[in-house]
Structure 1
Amino acid sequence: MAHLQLTVSDMARSRPFYERLLHSMNMVTLLDDPNYFYCIGGKTGLAIAPADPDLAGDGFHQRRPGLHHLCFRARSREDVDELYRTAVDLGAVIVREPQEAEWAPGYYSTLFEDPDGIRIEVNYVPGKGHLQQP
């Protein structure tokens, strides 16, 4: 994926959240102004921009058409744990503390919400996961 852009209800509230979260993943800020915040790292980027004021009050719900959640791939279980601690420090709603799951061999993840309730997962899968050759 090249990049993802999220629409947020309050840039003043969401920008510091995403700046700290993305910088903790070694992403760097490429653009930063009152109407657009964009960080890049690895081979992808993430941007936030304000919602139309007439629509901002509708709020995010993961079961509406559109985005359900986004997931960042970590390089290690320790990175998942560190991002979990960052989310806690940011006051994010924690949906799931770091734990193993059966989505793939060795799958380890945490799940939390941004200030608008957009769910963010961070996972680690050793090796090539499902792409591993038998």
Structure 2
Amino acid sequence: METQLLHRGRLIDHIQLVVADLKASRTFYDAIFDALGVPIGGAGEDYFWIDELFVSTADSDAAQGKLTGRHHLAFQAIDRAMVDAFHKAGMAAGGTDHGGPGERPYHPGYYAAFLLDPDGNNIEAVYHGDHERSALSVEIRF
């Protein structure tokens, strides 16, 4: 097995989305994760993964033949500019606006943008305002 590097501690451990059009989803997720500074982890004929997110077709062994959709995923951004870049990149890559960049009432400093991906999933990037982190993530190598 080749050495792999995973990051944990960014709010989400992992999520799988089963999508109707893998190519459209790959275009969308490549664009928004490039804007968020998260590289592609790997890909196969019927799937791809980016850190904690695994995206596959319904024909993938991992999907067990069922389409899903209408999920809400929130990804962390390091600042407001990254939230803005996420929204712009997602719109250019086939996403649909579901709430442009701006402050939200969830707590002081909550700055977010929302997009619908090609399968209608509600995808968010959020910056929680000024704060300190002990580390960006925990690295796991195997």
Fold conserved between structures, TM > 0.5:
yes
Please report how far the alpha carbon of residue 87 of structure 1 lies from its aligned counterpart in structure 2 after TM superposition. 1.5
Aligned mate of 1:98, from 101, 126, 135: 101
Cα distance in 2 for partners of 1:100, 1:17 equals 24
Q: Secondary structure at the match of 1:27?
A: coil
Cα distance in 1 for partners of 2:93, 2:23 equals 14
> Higher relative contact order at CA 8 Å, sep ≥6: structure 1 or structure 2?
2
Structure 1: any 5+ residue segments left out of the alignment?
A: 129-134
Structure 2: any 5+ residue segments left out of the alignment?
A: 1-11, 132-142
Q: Secondary structure at the match of 1:96?
A: coil
- Give the RMSD, CA atoms, in angstroms: 2.1
Task: Spell out structure 1 runs of 4+ moving beyond 4 A.
Answer: 52-56
Cα distance in 2 for partners of 1:30, 1:72 equals 16
| Structure with higher strand content | 1
Please report how far the alpha carbon of residue 12 of structure 1 lies from its aligned counterpart in structure 2 after TM superposition. 2.1
Cα distance in 2 for partners of 1:104, 1:115 equals 29
The answer for the alignment partner of 1:89 in structure 2 is 92
The answer for the alignment partner of 2:129 in structure 1 is 126
Please report how far the alpha carbon of residue 55 of structure 1 lies from its aligned counterpart in structure 2 after TM superposition. 4.5
The answer for the alignment partner of 1:19 in structure 2 is 30
Instruction: Work out the percentage of aligned pairs sharing the same amino acid.
Output: 30
Q: Which amino acid aligns with 1:93?
A: T
Cα distance in 2 for partners of 1:5, 1:32 equals 14
TM alignment of 1:25-40, pairs within 5 A: 25-40=36-51
Please report how far the alpha carbon of residue 105 of structure 1 lies from its aligned counterpart in structure 2 after TM superposition. 0.7
Count of residues in correspondence between the two structures? 117
**Residue-by-residue CA offset, 1:1-46 (whole Å, 9 max, x unaligned):** 3222111111122112212222222212222111110112xxxx21
1:78 aligns with 2:85: no
Cα distance in 1 for partners of 2:102, 2:40 equals 30
**Residue-by-residue CA offset, 1:45-96 (whole Å, 9 max, x unaligned):** 211011249644xx63x3xxxx3x0101111111111111111211311011
Cα distance in 2 for partners of 1:22, 1:87 equals 9
- 8 Å contact 2:19–2:56 — kept in the other structure? yes
